[in-house]
Structure 1
Amino acid sequence: MKNILIYLAIVALFSLNSCSMFELDNYDLPDETLIGEVVDVETGQPILTDQGSEGIRVRLTEVSWGENVVPNPDFFCMPDGTFQNTKLFAGTYNVRIDGPFIPLIREDDRGVPIADDTQTIDLNGQANVRFEVQPFLNVEWVKEPEVINGKVRAQVRVTRGVTEEDFRAKIEPMGGYSNSFTNVTDIQLFVSYSSTVGYRARDERWSSQMEFSGASFNSMLGETITIESNGTIPEGRMVFVRAAARINYDTPRGSGTRRWNYNEPRQVLVY
C-alpha cells in the first residue's frame, strides 16, 4: 500500500509540471546590432589590426541592471578596424576596446580613475559607435612589394602615432612606468594565401621578422626599412603580404599581449 501511495504522488507531481515542461521557449532570439569603427584621432584613418586575439579586443558590458555585472564574451575587430555584432539583446551597454593605442581606461596604481574614454549606448535596433584613438605606431608602404627570386621584398616606413612625451604623460600616472615601453621591438612581414593575412593568418614558411633590442630602432623611425620573406614561394602562387610593428607595451596593462600596428594588405603574384 505504501508503494502505491508513493507512485500516485509521483504521478500527480509529474502531471502538475508536465504542461510547463513541454512548452516551447517563446523568448525572442537576440537580434540587435552594434556596428563600430576605430580610427586615428589625428588622421581619421582606420586602425588596421589582426583578425584574432592579437587584434583590437571589443568588450561589451550590459549595464541595464546595474554596474556589478559580468561582461559579454569578448570579440575582435576585423582587419580594417571595424567590428559588428548582430546577436545582442536590447539594453544599455558600455563599449570598451583595447588595442595598439593609448588605453581608453586608465587608473593609477591605487585604482583611482584617470581617464575613461569608453562609450555607453542604448541599443534598440542598430547602434553605431566610432572610437578615435592614438595609435602607438604608423606602418606605411614606401613602395609596392616586389618579387625577386621567389621572395617578396617589402619597403616600409614606421613612425610614431603618439609622441614619446604624450605617451609618457598618459601612461606614467598609471604607475610602474618604464622608458622601455616606447621601444619598437620588432617588424613583421606576414605572408599568407588569405586576404586576412596577419599573425593569426600567416604562413610560417615565408613570413619573416626583424627584431630590435632596447631603443636601437629609434634611429630608423621615419626611414625606409627593407624586409624580405623567408624561403622560396613557388612560382605561380598568389599571396597576400602585410607588415606590422609593435612597441614594448601590453594592452590592457598586465595582459602580456603586445599588439601590432599594421599597414594595408597587398596581393602579390609570385613569378
Structure 2
Amino acid sequence: MNRLYIFCLMILTLSSCGYFEYDNYEEPNSGIDGKVVDKKTNEPFYSETANSYKVEYYELSWEAAGHANTQSRFFWGKADGTFTNTKIFAGEYRITLKEGAFYAPDPEVVTLKKGKLTNLNYAVTPYARVKIDEITLSGTKQNNLVIDYTVEDTQNEIDITNVDKGVYTLSEAQVFISSRSPNVGVNNTESKYTVRAVQKFTTYTPGTPIAVSEKNVRNLPPGKYWVRIGVRTGNPGKKYNFSTIQEIVIPDLDN
C-alpha cells in the first residue's frame, strides 16, 4: 500500500510541474541552399563526400539580442558543389565558406526569413584545376588504362601578396579508381590499381596547362570501374581538387 501511495504521489508531482506537457519551443523555421562554382569556368566545384567544404553560419541577431557565448555552426557541402540546410532559425547571419580546396570568398551578412529557403551562390578560384581528356583501353586483354588529363594551376588568377606559396604550388596528381562505388575519391579508392599512378610536379610554368598521359593503371579484372583525377597543391589541409568522375568497363575477352 505504501508503494502505491508513493507511486501516485510521484505522478501527481510530475504532472504539477509540467513534466508531461508538450515541448513548445519553436523548431528551426528557415534555411539556405545554393551552389559553388569555379569563377573562371563556371563549372560546379567538384569534391568528394565528407571531404568537401564547410558552410559556416554565425547568428548576429542572437548576439545583438544580448545573448552571450554565441558559437558558429556549420554543415558540409555536397560533392557536386551544391549545399542545403533546411534547419536554421530565421535571423541575421554571417555566412562563410571554409576548408575547401579554394580561395574562400569574403564572408557575407544574410537575413534569413521565416518559412523561406534563401538561395546563395558562390564563385571561387580553386587551388588547381584538373580535367580528364580521354581514357582508352590498351593491351591484348584491353585491361590497361591510358588516362590523358590536363592540370592547370591558378597562381596567376589571384593576388599572391599575402598568400603562403605552398597553397598555390602544385604538388602532385593522383589517379583514384574504384570498382565498388561511383563516389570515388581519397576516401574510396583501390590503391592496388593506382599505387604507381602518381604524377609529381617539380618544375612548371605558372598559368601553362600541363598535359599528362598516365599509363600505370594496369591489369584490371573485367568489370565496371569509376575513375577520377585529384590534383593537390601544398595547401596545409592537403585538400585535393578533382576532375569529374568517368565510368569505364573492362571487357571479359576470355568468355
TM-score between both structures, scaled by the size of structure 1: 0.74
Is 1:142–1:224's contact at 8 Å kept on the other side of the alignment?
A: no
Go from structure 1 to structure 2 and tell me whether the alpha carbon gap of 1:225 and 1:195 turns closer, same or farther (over 3 Å shift): same
Is 2:44–2:80's contact at 8 Å kept on the other side of the alignment?
A: yes
CA shift at 1:228, angstroms?
Answer: 4.1
Is 1:135–1:162's contact at 8 Å kept on the other side of the alignment?
A: no
Correspondence 1:37 to 2:27? no
Q: 5+ unaligned residues in a row in structure 1: which ranges?
A: 105-116, 172-176, 251-256
Identity %: 22
CA shift at 1:242, angstroms?
Answer: 0.7
CA shift at 1:30, angstroms?
Answer: 2.9
Deviates more, 1:182-191 or 1:88-97: 88-97
CA RMSD of superposed structures (Å)? 2.9
Superposed, which structure 2 residues align to 1:105-144 within 5 Å? Answer: 117-123=106-112, 124=114, 125-143=116-134
AA matched with 2:161: A
Instruction: Give the equivalent residue in structure 2 for 1:248.
Output: 234
SS in 1 for 2:103: coil
Find runs of 4+ consecutive structure 1 residues off by over 6 angstroms.
Answer: 10-14
Instruction: Give the equivalent residue in structure 2 for 1:86.
Output: 86
Correspondence 1:169 to 2:161? yes
Q: 5+ unaligned residues in a row in structure 2: which ranges?
A: none
Residues 125-173 of structure 1 deviation map (CA, whole Å, 9 limit, x = unaligned): 2011111111111111222x12334233211101123417x342242xx
Q: Distance in 2 between matches of 1:52 and 1:217?
A: 32
Superposed, which structure 2 residues align to 1:1-271 within 5 Å? Answer: 15-19=12-16, 20-30=18-28, 32-53=30-51, 55-66=52-63, 69-72=70-73, 74-98=74-98, 99-104=100-105, 117-123=106-112, 124=114, 125-143=116-134, 145-148=135-138, 149-163=142-156, 166-171=158-163, 177=164, 179-192=165-178, 193-208=180-195, 209-212=197-200, 216-218=202-204, 221-228=208-215, 230=217, 232-235=219-222, 237-250=223-236, 257-271=237-251
TM-score between both structures, scaled by the size of structure 2: 0.78
Is 1:186–1:211's contact at 8 Å kept on the other side of the alignment?
A: yes
Q: Distance in 2 between matches of 1:92 and 1:11?
A: 48
Q: Distance in 2 between matches of 1:37 and 1:185?
A: 27
SS in 1 for 2:160: helix
AA matched with 1:26: N
Q: Distance in 2 between matches of 1:228 and 1:87?
A: 47
Q: Distance in 1 between matches of 2:60 and 2:117?
A: 17
